[in-house]
Structure 1
Amino acid sequence: MKTAEGEPAGTVGLGELLSPVRRRLGMAIALRALAAALAVVPFAAVAELARVLLAEGPADRGRAWTVTAVAAGALLAWLLLTAVAGTLAHNADLDLQLSVRRRLVDRLGRVPLGWFTDRGAGGIGKAVQHDVDAMHHLVAHSLLDLTAVVVTALVTLGYLFWVDWRMALILLVPLVVGIALFARRITSMTAEMAAYDRALQRIIGSVVEFVEGIAVVKMFGQAKRAHRRYARAADDFAEFLDAWLSRSYRAGAASAVVLSPVTILLAVLVGGTALVSAGHLDAVDLLPFVILGLGLAAPLQAMDFHGEDIETANTAAKRVGALLAAPELAVPAEPRSPDLGGGPRVGMSGVEFGYDADRPVLSGIDLVLEPGTVTALVGASGSGKTTLAKLLPRFFDPTAGSVAIGGVDVREIAPDRLYRLVSFVLQDVQLLDASVRDNIRLARPDADDETVRRAARAAAIDDRVRALPRGYDSVVGRDVRFSGGEAQRLSIARAILAETPIVVLDEATAHADPEAEASIQDALSELAAGRTVLVVAHRLASVAGADRIVVLDRGRIAEQGTHAELLAAGGRYARMWRLQNPTHENDAYAGIGAGEEGER
Structure 2
Amino acid sequence: MTAQLPIAEPSDVRAAAARLIRLDGRAFAALLALNALAAGAGLVGPWLLGRIIDTVQAGGAVGTVDRVAFAILVFSLAQLLLARYARYVGHRFGERTLARVREQFVDRALALPASVIERAGTGDLTARGTADVTAVGATLRDAGPEVLIAMVQSLFILGAVFVLDPLLGGCGVLGLTGIWFALRWYLRRARSAYLDEGAANSALAEILAATASAARTVEAFGLQERRVAASREAIEACRRTRTRTLFLRSVFFPAVDISYIIPVVGVLLAGGMLHDHGAMSLGAVVAAALYLRQLTQPLDTILMWVEQLQSSSASFARVEGLARTPRAASAVSPAPVDDRIDVAGVHYAYDGGGDVLHGVDLTVRPGERLALVGPSGAGKTTLSRLLAGVDAPHTGTVTVGRIPVADLDPDQLRRHIVLVTQEHHVFLGTVRDNLLIAAPAATDAGLHAALAAVGADWAGELPDGLDTALGAGGYRPDGSQAQQLALARVVLADPHTLILDEATALLDPRTARHTERALAAVLQGRTVIAIAHRLHTAHDADRVAVMEGGRLTELGTHDDLVAAGGAYAALWHSWHGEPPAAP
TM range, smaller chain = 0.7 to 0.9
| 1:548 maps onto 2:543 in alignment | yes
- Verify: 1:481 aligned to 2:476, yes or no: yes
How far is the alpha carbon of 1:523 from its aligned partner? 0.2
Cα contact 2:53–2:282 (8 A) shared by 1: no
- 1:53 pairs with one of 55, 60, 69: 55
Q: Is the contact made by 1:458 and 1:523 (CA closer than 8 Å) also made in structure 2?
A: yes
2:374 alignment counterpart: 379
Tell me the SS of whatever aligns to 2:470. Answer: coil
Q: TM-score of the superposition, structure 1-length normalised?
A: 0.79
Match of 2:510 in 1: 518
Aligned residue number for residue 34 of structure 1: 36
Which residue of the other structure, out of 343, 347, 368, is the alignment partner of 1:348? 343
Look up the equivalent residue of 1:19 and give its one-letter code.
R
Counterparts of 1:514-593 in structure 2, within 5 Å, are: 516-529=508-521, 530=524, 531-540=526-535, 542-574=537-569, 583=578, 585=580
1:251: Cα distance to partner?
0.8
Using the TM superposition, name which of 495-504 and 393-402 deviates more.
Answer: 393-402
Cα separation, 2, equivalents of 1:231 and 1:279: 72
Within 2, Cα distance between the matches of 1:406 and 1:238?
50
Deviations 1:526-554 (A, max 9, x none): 21232321112245465344322222345
Q: Is residue 323 from structure 1 mapped to residue 318 from structure 2 by the alignment?
A: no
Instruction: Name the residue aligned to 1:96.
Output: 97
3-state SS of the aligned residue for 2:49?
helix
Query: Greater CA deviation, 566-575 or 478-487?
Result: 566-575
Counterpart AA for 1:135: V
* Aligned-partner Cα distance in 2 for 1:214–1:365: 36
Segments of 5+ residues of structure 1 without an aligned counterpart are 1-6, 588-600
- C-alpha spacing 1:532/1:161, structure 2 compared with 1 (3 Å): closer
Q: Letter of the aligned partner of 2:470 in structure 1? A: V
Paired residue secondary structure (1:389): helix
Query: SS at the partner of 1:13?
Result: helix
Matched, 1:297 2:293: no
Supply the distance in 2 between the matched residues of 1:165 and 1:332 (Cα, whole angstroms).
Answer: 61
Select between 350-359 and 94-103 the one with higher mean Cα deviation.
Answer: 350-359
Contact 2:275 2:282 in 1 (8 A): yes
Pick from 411, 419, 436 the counterpart of residue 414 of structure 2. Answer: 419
Tell me if 1:196 matches 2:190.
no
- Structure 1 residue 505 displacement after superposition: 0.2
> Which has the larger displacement, 425-434 or 95-104?
95-104
C-alpha deviation, 1:310, in angstroms = 2.5
Distance 1:202 1:497, change over 3 A: closer
Aligned equivalent of 2:152 = 151
Is residue 386–residue 393 contact of structure 2 (8 Å, CA) maintained in 1? yes
Aligned-pair RMSD on alpha carbons? Answer: 4.2
CA distance in 2, matches of 1:241, 1:333: 45
Residue type at the aligned position of 2:386: L
2:3 corresponding residue in structure 1: none
- d(CA) in 2 for partners of 1:470 and 1:87? 45
CA distance, structure 2, for counterparts of residue 241 and residue 334 of structure 1: 46
SS in 1 for 2:372: strand
Q: Which residue of 2 aligns with 1:595?
A: none
Quickly say closer, same or farther: Cα 1:134–1:366, change in 2 above 3 A. same
Q: Partners of 1:396 and 1:276 in 2: how far apart?
A: 79
Is 1:465 the counterpart of 2:459? The answer is yes
TM, length-normalised to structure 2: 0.81
Alpha-carbon deviation of 1:311?
2.2
Q: Which residue of 1 aligns with 2:486?
A: 491
2: CA distance, partners of 1:214 / 1:135: 33
The number of aligned residues is 570
Paired AA for residue 427 in structure 2? L
The equivalent of 1:233 in structure 2 is 233
Distance in 2, matches of 1:21 and 1:234, equals 37
> Within 2, Cα distance between the matches of 1:216 and 1:8?
33
What letter matches 2:372 in structure 1?
L
CA gap of 1:287–1:328, structure 2 versus 1, over 3 A, is same
Change (3 A) 1:162 1:413: closer
Where in structure 2 are the equivalents of 1:187-336 lying within 5 Å?
A: 187-205=188-206, 207-208=208-209, 211=212, 225=225, 229=229, 232-233=232-233, 236-237=236-237, 240=240, 243-244=243-244, 246-259=246-259, 283-330=282-329, 333=332, 335-336=334-335
Query: Identity rate of aligned residues, in percent?
Result: 27
- Asked whether the 8 Å contact 2:94–2:141 carries over to 1, the reply is yes
Q: Is the 8 A contact 1:24 1:92 kept in 2?
A: no
1:455 matched to which residue of 2?
450
Deviation at 1:79, TM superposition (A): 5.0
Q: Is the partner of 1:551 in helix, strand or coil?
A: strand
| CA shift for structure 1 position 116 | 4.2
Task: Identify the range of structure 1 (246-255 vs 8-17) with the bigger mean alpha-carbon deviation.
Answer: 8-17
Preserved CA contact (<8 Å) 2:345 2:395 = yes
Query: SS where residue 395 of structure 1 aligns?
Result: coil
Say which SS state the counterpart of residue 453 (structure 1) adopts: helix
Structure 2: gaps spanning 5 or more residues: 1-5
Task: Please state whether the residue corresponding to 2:429 is helix, strand or coil.
Answer: coil
Read off the aligned partner of 2:461 and give its amino acid letter: A
Partner Cα distance (2:569, 2:8) in 1: 47
